[in-house]
Amino acid sequence: MIIGKIVGVKIKLNKWFVFLMLVYAMIDLLPQALIVFGVAFLHEMAHVFVAINEGYHVIEIEVMPFGGVAKIDNMLGCDVHSEFNIAIAGPLNNLALMGVGWLMQYCHVWNPDLTFFFIKVNLFMALFNFIPALPLDGGRIYRSLLARKIGFKKASEKAFGMSRFISVILMIGGSIGFYLGYVNALVIVIAIFLFGASNQEKQMTLYVIMKNYTKKKEDLLKKGIISGEQLVVLETTPVGEVINYALPQKYHTFVIMNHHWEIAGMITESQVVDILMEKGISITMKQILYQNKVKFLD
């Protein structure tokens, strides 16, 4: 159900969200429900504003019972600096709202129980989203910080490992805690959700790498200049290894050496990606060089 548009972004209400609101209204918890969903909506809008500011096109946000999902045209993760800024905006927004809540409590402008509830919801959402597991904001922050040093692919792998580790710990800890009566069954549900969602994100990685290259090409076409990096590669190295070293924010050129320590050739990132898409990641740099020569003669 689409309820409106803010700064060109469609605001959609998930049908379960509408259903849940009706249930809450019936059991007299409507104010609390409105606070939870209002906070989730503002959290999502913080991501949206930063994304727009970073030059991304946001199509819609969908408000769901556990928060929201923003659909962004260009994939997030294309640019590690943007991904970091967009991701951190969500939990920072909750910390700021906590401050607003305290001020409201101090000035007695609202029902004290509801104000306290508002502060608690913001604290929970900030802490939850700082957990370094994908697809949570914390996972994106962690990945974008790592990707600056070790490249997007390796950083993603590390972030996925971390996500699986955290969800398994939450599952075991949550089950024991639930059995002993310390925690809510919601912890187990969240752990299962995290496990499934991080697997889904993993399948997107190669797609993100491709998108990432496309974005660099577009940037180069638009600005005429971007910063680059040169890598020296042995001709027998498979391209799957080579992309592990590629940094998302740099355009790469590759100097290919043979076993006589001579330069066999030099190719650009775009040439590598074109052939990679066709032939897969086990192709060697020598084969890429050869394929490019054939293409050039065509």
CB nearer Zn ion, residue 90 or residue 174: 90
**Cβ 11 to Zn ion, closest distance in Å?**
16
Check binding of 137 to Zn ion (CB under 5 A).
yes
CB nearer Zn ion, residue 83 or residue 137: 137
What span, in angstroms and rounded, lies between the C-alpha atoms of 197 and 200?
Answer: 5
- Segment 51-90, which members bind Zn ion (CB under 5 A)? 90
From 134-142, 149-157, 239-247, 256-264, give the range in contact with Zn ion by CB under 5 A. 134-142
| Tokens describing residue 204 | 């997107």
**Cβ 214 to Zn ion, closest distance in Å?**
25
**Cβ 140 to Zn ion, closest distance in Å?**
8
**Cβ 107 to Zn ion, closest distance in Å?**
29
User: Per-residue contact track with Zn ion, 143 to 162, x per CB under 5 A?
Assistant: --------------------
Residue nearest to Zn ion (CB): 90
Residues that bind Zn ion (CB under 5 A): 90, 137
